[in-house]
């Protein structure tokens, strides 16, 4: 699932391509909206709300999309070849004079009244890259369930919106604790700096093509995607294991020396050779 900075970049691309322009073509390739035609309407803006994209169109309509693991929005100029995937993976096309925004493999696509956006994104916590960011509320949300594992709490978009699996692993490393540590066991000084650290990481990367958390040349990330290579700080092999249940399982990376706290529970699959690759740059 993309991180909040990736979705923020997608919103900016869509906004720059469409906002203030009249749609000359709309093509919804999903049965529910097959007969919808937005041609002739002006696109007002596109914003990111956590990991959700909201494209607002004249007449009080909002196109809500979510990329999840496989979705993507691509913007093309006139005559440019569409190369985001085969045609059967296209879910929607929004075109203006000179630009076409093409949504590929979008698992969530719905057209709703702009006045009803809250029913889709109203459950989200403070957005790390949004105007509603509130670090005190974000921390209070995280601490509301002290027995919950920190890694799971960070991924819960109801607590704070924008953290995905990469930042979950990197934040826990920078805080010096394992993702399996109960939130309530996080030392008070580290808990206090968590919201600001999370915001700093996402803000630093929202304009970058390659995500970077280390500040080290040639080494972009501390632990995510690095198993079983040596930790950049201590040289111990970085480890990876699943965290979460069922469909919510996520590969989680940590250094057993630099990060204090519980290891994965007994029986958790641990992959000593990393089978995951970064695909959401």
Q: Is 273 a catalytic residue?
A: no
The two three-digit tokens of residue 112, written as one number = 């709703």
Residue holding tokens 């970085």? 238
Are 90 and 104 spatial neighbours (Cβ–Cβ below 8 Å)? Answer: yes
Does 217 qualify as catalytic in the annotation? Answer: no
CA within 13 Å, CB half, 154: 32
- Our answer to whether residue 3 is catalytic in this structure is yes
Per DSSP, the residues of 32-71 read: GGTT---TTPBEEEEEEETTEEEEEETTTEEEEEE-TTT-
* Catalytic residue, candidates 49, 51, 168, 199: 51
Residue 117 appears among annotated catalytic residues: no
Alpha helices in the chain (DSSP H): 4-18, 118-121, 135-143, 150-155, 165-175, 188-205
Q: Determine the Cα–Cα distance for residues 185 and 167; give it in Å rounded to an integer.
A: 20
- Catalytic hit among 195, 250, 251, 264: 250
Structure tokens at 261: 């706290």
Question: Is the Cβ–Cβ distance between 1 and 163 less than 8 Å?
Answer: no
Q: Are 159 and 142 in contact (CB under 8 A)?
A: yes
- Active-site residue among 2, 179, 251, 264? 2
Active-site position among 3, 99, 170, 195? 3
For residues 124 and 186, what is the distance between their CA atoms, to the nearest angstrom? 23
Enzyme catalytic residues: 2-3, 51, 250
């Amino acid at each position: 699932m993309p991180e909040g900075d990736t979705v923020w970049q997608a919103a900016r691309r869509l906004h720059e391509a469409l906002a203030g322009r009249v749609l000359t073509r709309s093509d919804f390739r999903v049965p529910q909206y097959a007969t919808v035609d937005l041609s002739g309407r002006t696109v007002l803006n596109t914003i990111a709300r956590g990991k959700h994209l909201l494209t607002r169109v004249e007449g009080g309509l909002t196109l809500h999309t979510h990329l999840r693991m496989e979705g993507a929005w691509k913007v093309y100029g006139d005559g440019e070849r569409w190369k985001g995937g085969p045609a059967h993976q296209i879910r929607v096309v929004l075109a203006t004079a000179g630009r076409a925004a093409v949504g590929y493999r979008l698992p969530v696509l719905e057209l709703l009244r702009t006045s009803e956006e809250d029913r889709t994104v109203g459950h989200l916590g403070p957005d790390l890259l949004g105007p509603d960011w509130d670090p005190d509320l974000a921390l209070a949300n995280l601490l509301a369930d002290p027995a919950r594992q920190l890694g799971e709490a960070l991924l819960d978009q109801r607590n704070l919106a924008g953290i995905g699996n990469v930042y979950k692993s990197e934040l826990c490393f920078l805080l010096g604790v394992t993702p399996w540590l109960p939130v309530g066991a996080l030392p008070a000084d580290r808990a206090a700096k968590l919201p600001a650290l999370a915001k700093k990481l996402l803000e630093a990367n929202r304009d970058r093509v390659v995500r970077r958390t280390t500040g080290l040349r040639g080494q972009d990330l501390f632990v995510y995607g690095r198993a079983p290579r040596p930790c950049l700080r201590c040289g111990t092999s970085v480890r990876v294991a699943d965290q979460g249940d069922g469909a919510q399982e996520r590969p989680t990376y940590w250094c057993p020396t630099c990060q204090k706290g519980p290891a994965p529970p007994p029986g958790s699959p641990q992959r000593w050779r990393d089978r995951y690759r970064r695909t959401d740059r």
